[in-house]
């Protein structure tokens, strides 16, 4: 099996930035993979939403792929909430699966994520149109998304920290997704 990792944007904003990561699982000829699990090592300050494909996710954060479903890719929305200090970081994607001889195989690939200030985005931003097309396909296939040609991307989740007499309740009960 091979992994192909692609980002929708060549760079993302340091603060309140957003991007999409497309992970394609490409089986070798005559391979018989039934199930696979995709796991991630994300840099500090970079977060991901649940996968946009609707694959089941384990409690440990892995994405479970059922090969029989013929949906052998994973699309993730990546986002930052607070400013990232580094210029670039790496995401490591690891796939575990059983081969035809019932042995566990694990392969990993790494992709570089470049962070820039918002003003620098327009200067050298490159878009991967195939990733954008896949985002649109998944979005248009979901009932809650309207069918339009515009790639409207929701801003990343951000939380306002309040300082009042009830602030301690927010710290106790807030659930970050």
What ranges make up the beta strands (E) of 12-152? 12-13, 18-26, 35-41, 46-48, 56-57, 63-66, 73-80, 88-98, 104-116
User: Is residue 149 very low, low, confident or very high in pLDDT (cuts 50, 70, 90)?
Assistant: very low
pLDDT at 165 (0 to 100):
62
Which structure tokens are listed for 10? 């060549």
Categorise residue 130: left if φ over 0, alpha if ψ from -120 to 50, beta otherwise.
alpha
Domains and CATH numbers, the chain: 2-173 (2.60.40.1670)
User: Is residue 44 very low, low, confident or very high in pLDDT (cuts 50, 70, 90)?
Assistant: very high
Highest mean pLDDT among 17-26, 32-41, 163-172: 17-26
Q: Is the pTM of this model over 0.85?
A: no
Pick from 92, 82, 93: nearest CA to 115: 82
> From the centroid of its chain, how far is CA 155?
15
Pick from 36, 35, 38, 67: nearest CA to 51: 38
Question: With pLDDT > 90 as the criterion, what percentage of the chain qualifies?
Answer: 46
Better pLDDT: 142 or 102:
102
């Amino acid at each position: 099996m091979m992994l192909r990792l692609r980002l929708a944007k060549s760079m993302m904003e340091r603060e309140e930035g957003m991007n999409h990561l497309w992970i394609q699982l490409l089986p070798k000829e005559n391979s018989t993979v039934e199930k696979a699990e995709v796991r991630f090592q994300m840099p500090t300050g970079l977060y991901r939403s649940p996968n946009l494909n609707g694959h089941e996710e384990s409690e440990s954060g892995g994405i479970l792929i059922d090969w029989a479903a013929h949906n052998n890719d994973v699309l993730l929305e990546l986002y930052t909430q607070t400013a990232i200090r580094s210029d670039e970081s790496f995401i490591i994607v690891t796939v575990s699966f059983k081969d035809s001889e019932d042995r566990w195989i694990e392969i990993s690939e790494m992709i570089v994520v470049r962070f820039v200030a918002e003003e620098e985005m327009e200067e050298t931003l490159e878009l991967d149109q195939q990733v954008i097309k896949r985002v649109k396909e998944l979005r248009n296939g979901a009932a809650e998304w309207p069918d339009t040609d515009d790639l409207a991307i929701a801003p990343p989740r951000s939380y306002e920290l309040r300082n009042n007499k009830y602030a301690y309740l927010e710290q106790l009960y807030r659930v970050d997704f």
